[in-house]
């Protein structure tokens, strides 16, 4: 049996929609219409509407909406897919946590979203929860570790209270794609960080680890080093970003290049690290970004590693606000040029380094 579909754009008159339609994409909906057979409803542009949705609905797409979701959305007991991405909502109604059949909740790039439903841990069917780009989110609901079916999360904010610790990630071994772990200054130490169990999350491709960048921070250097040492990801990892790290040295899993599949690395605001890890050993690395590494004085053999051909795949290199950098070795001991595949070089606010003259790359930018 072929289920009826309907794609309608607003163009003056509003046609009568057959009650037999099951799947519909449109830019308006007359609240007088009653579509009891509807299973999928996707709006194609921002709008505000007031309409009764029957609880048989399985899919609801409200991407880029500019209005609040009503508590009545909790009545859609059969809903499996809800998309409110790129919207200006600030918080979700608590009734959403009663949607026991919801498998996908897309909140990506909701820039004003600051709070999630308190009982989100009860949404046991959730498989896809995308919090990517929710920069205003202040904390996670308690007990997120109980969502054992999750395959996508996007972001986790570490808290100090029980139910908000980094250990909530321990049982979420199937999450994949990108994961940003924020507020790592709230992790209590080595044992607490080990509970995150990152090494077993084989589906993760991109990982961001960040501490708040408080210049007057009282958080101990030793605690930061313990935490980062315990957060070693699986060797499948392709992208890694570390920001706001307060330790004075990087962990062994970076020094020994135990992440051979890395394609992209970004180190930012690691203000106490004078020595860089031997990133030149990473044969697949294409993009490298070093920003606000305030105590680094030399880029040379230490970062290049002991190979004859460091950075064999590097295409883009960005160096920014390394105010104390005094020396940059551009050739190996044998006189061979480094960065032979480099296509783009960006240098920002590095007063101690002279003009770059040793590269023939497609694009060189200096700010």
Own/partner pairs for 215-223, CB < 8 Å, 24+ apart? Answer: 215/271, 217/185, 217/246, 219/185, 219/246, 220/246, 221/246, 221/247, 221/248, 221/272, 222/247, 223/187, 223/189
pLDDT tens digit sequence for 307-358: 678 899 999 999 999 988 888 887 665 667 788 899 999 988 777 665 443 4
Give the span between the Cα atoms of 243 and 267, in whole angstroms: 6
Determine, yes or no, domain membership for 135.
no
Mean pLDDT calculated for residue range 236-253: 95
Give the span between the Cα atoms of 109 and 239, in whole angstroms: 20
Determine, yes or no, domain membership for 53.
no
Give the span between the Cα atoms of 351 and 322, in whole angstroms: 8
pLDDT tens digit sequence for 163-215: 999 999 999 999 999 999 999 999 988 999 999 999 999 999 999 999 986 55
State the residue range of the domain holding 353: 274-367
Give the span between the Cα atoms of 134 and 111, in whole angstroms: 5
Q: Which two tokens stand for residue 196?
A: 């995150």
Measuring CA to CA, which residue among 270, 260, 187 is closest to residue 230? Answer: 187
Asked whether the predicted pLDDT for residue 19 surpasses 70, the reply is no
Give the span between the Cα atoms of 346 and 279, in whole angstroms: 18
Determine, yes or no, domain membership for 89.
no
pLDDT band at 44 (very low <50, low <70, confident <90, very high): low
Q: What integer best gives the mean pLDDT of the chain? A: 83
Where are any strands of DSSP class E within 51-176?
59-61, 81-83, 104-106, 128-130, 154-157
Determine, yes or no, domain membership for 199.
no
Spell out the alpha helix ranges (H) of the chain: 190-194, 221-230, 252-255, 301-304
Determine, yes or no, domain membership for 239.
no
Query: What Rg, from alpha-carbon coordinates, does the chain have?
Result: 25
Provide the pLDDT for residue 364: 43
Determine, yes or no, domain membership for 143.
no
Dihedral through CA 162, CA 167, CA 168, CA 170, nearest 10? -150
Looking up tokens 């130490």 gives 189
Determine, yes or no, domain membership for 91.
no
Determine, yes or no, domain membership for 306.
yes
Please state the pTM of the whole predicted model. 0.85
Q: How many structural domains does the chain have?
A: 1
């Amino acid at each position: 049996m072929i289920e009826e579909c309907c794609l309608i754009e607003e163009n003056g008159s509003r046609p009568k929609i057959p009650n037999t339609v099951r799947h519909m994409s449109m830019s308006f909906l007359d609240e007088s219409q009653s579509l009891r057979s509807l299973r999928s409803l996707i709006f194609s542009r921002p709008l505000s509407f007031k309409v009764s949705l029957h609880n048989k609905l399985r899919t609801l797409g409200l991407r880029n909406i500019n209005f609040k979701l009503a508590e009545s959305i909790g009545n859609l007991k059969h809903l499996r897919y809800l998309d409110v991405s790129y919207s200006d909502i600030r918080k979700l109604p608590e009734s959403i946590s009663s949607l026991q059949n919801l498998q996908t909740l897309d909140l990506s790039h909701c820039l004003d979203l600051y709070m999630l439903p308190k009982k989100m841990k009860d949404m046991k069917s959730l498989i896809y929860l995308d919090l990517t780009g929710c920069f205003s989110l202040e904390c996670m609901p308690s007990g997120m570790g109980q969502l054992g079916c999750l395959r996508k999360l996007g972001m986790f904010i570490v808290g100090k209270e029980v139910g908000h610790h980094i250990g909530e990630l321990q049982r979420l071994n199937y999450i994949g794609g990108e994961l940003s772990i924020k507020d790592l200054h709230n992790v209590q130490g080595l044992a607490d960080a080990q509970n995150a169990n990152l090494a077993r999350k084989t589906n993760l491709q991109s990982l961001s680890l960040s501490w708040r960048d408080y210049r007057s921070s009282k958080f101990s250097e030793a605690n930061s080093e313990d935490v980062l040492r315990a957060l070693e990801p699986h060797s499948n990892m392709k992208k890694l970003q570390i920001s706001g790290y307060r330790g004075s040295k990087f962990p062994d899993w970076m020094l020994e290049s135990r992440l051979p599949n890395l394609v992209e690395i970004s180190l930012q605001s690691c203000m106490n690290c004078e020595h860089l890890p031997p990133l030149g050993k990473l044969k697949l690395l294409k993009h490298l970004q070093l920003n606000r590494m305030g105590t680094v004085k030399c880029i040379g053999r230490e970062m290049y590693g002991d190979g004859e051909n460091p950075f064999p795949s590097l295409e883009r290199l960005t160096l920014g606000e390394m105010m104390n950098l005094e020396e940059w070795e551009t050739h190996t001991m044998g006189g061979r040029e480094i960065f032979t595949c480099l296509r783009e070089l960006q240098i920002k606010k590095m007063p101690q380094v002279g003009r770059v003259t040793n590269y023939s790359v497609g694009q060189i930018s200096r700010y």
